[in-house]
Amino acid sequence: VKKEARAAAPRNATQESAIRRSWEMNAAAWTDAVRSGALESRRVATDDAIVRTVLSRRPARVLDAGCGEGWLARRLAVENCDVVGFDGSAPLIERARRDGGAVFHVMSYAEFVHEPKNVGVGFDVVVFNFSLLGRDVAPTLAAARRVVAGDGRLLIQTLHPLSAADGAYVDGWRQESFTSLQGQWAPMPWYYRTIGSWVREIRAAGWQVEQCDEPIDPASGRVLSLIWLAALSDTQR
């Protein structure tokens, strides 16, 4: 077992940096896909679902963590939210800044964990929209605790573990090749986790789950994503 654990550590670090690199290489193709509406699940359900859930908190200040090219930050700014976005991909942040609407920082989750307050404090909502892709998410979620207001909320939208299971409902590294999308794409490793595993990570980071929404495709009835809403645990307030 010890030998396996030793082997898993470097593999994990390699996968985490491969995720970061893929979002640098895929920045142009991703921006085109998001802005042209090529991602059907987003168009039919998941974009509106995350916007609705964020706005249900009537937030004045929102942190868009792993904001990509910035669509969500811009959408929330139209609703009079003061939004800060950050992402580890410099080319994605460059595109976000070009379109404005919010303050955008180039920052990896490792940097965020090291110095969370560099993005500001007092956020009513910290939202991760399809942006938690690695294995060790608890440190990042714990850092988010340090920048929320006392009654702030954590929101995470992620692939639904049932629709993404592909025959194996078990935590582990997988690979996304973006084959359904046009253009040139570098493959991206991502860490599949079950519903129980998500709850454990969120709790380990000092949050308590309040709500779990499951947006569906209105045409097929297929579940598309999972949205976690969590408050600070009593001991963290």
Residues that bind ligand SAM (CB under 6 A): 19-20, 23, 34, 66-68, 71-72, 87-89, 92, 108-109, 129-131, 133
Calpha distance 237→131 (Å, rounded) = 25
User: Is the CB of 88 or the CB of 152 nearer to ligand SAM?
Assistant: 88
User: Is the CB of 66 or the CB of 206 nearer to ligand SAM?
Assistant: 66
Neighbours of 68 (CB within 10 A): 23
Minimum distance from residue 31 beta carbon to ligand SAM (Å): 9
Calpha distance 141→116 (Å, rounded) = 10
User: Is the CB of 72 or the CB of 202 nearer to ligand SAM?
Assistant: 72
Neighbours of 174 (CB within 10 A): 12
Minimum distance from residue 22 beta carbon to ligand SAM (Å): 8
User: Is the CB of 4 or the CB of 166 nearer to ligand SAM?
Assistant: 166
Minimum distance from residue 150 beta carbon to ligand SAM (Å): 25
User: Is the CB of 53 or the CB of 89 nearer to ligand SAM?
Assistant: 89
Residue among 125, 123, 147, 140 nearest 50 (CA): 125
Minimum distance from residue 130 beta carbon to ligand SAM (Å): 4
User: Is the CB of 94 or the CB of 208 nearer to ligand SAM?
Assistant: 94
Minimum distance from residue 15 beta carbon to ligand SAM (Å): 11
Minimum distance from residue 59 beta carbon to ligand SAM (Å): 17
Long-range contacts of 191-199 (CB under 8 A, 24+ apart): 191/15, 191/133, 191/134, 191/135, 192/161, 192/164, 192/165, 193/161, 194/161, 194/169, 194/170, 195/161, 195/226, 197/171, 198/156, 198/158, 198/161, 198/226, 198/228
Calpha distance 87→205 (Å, rounded) = 20
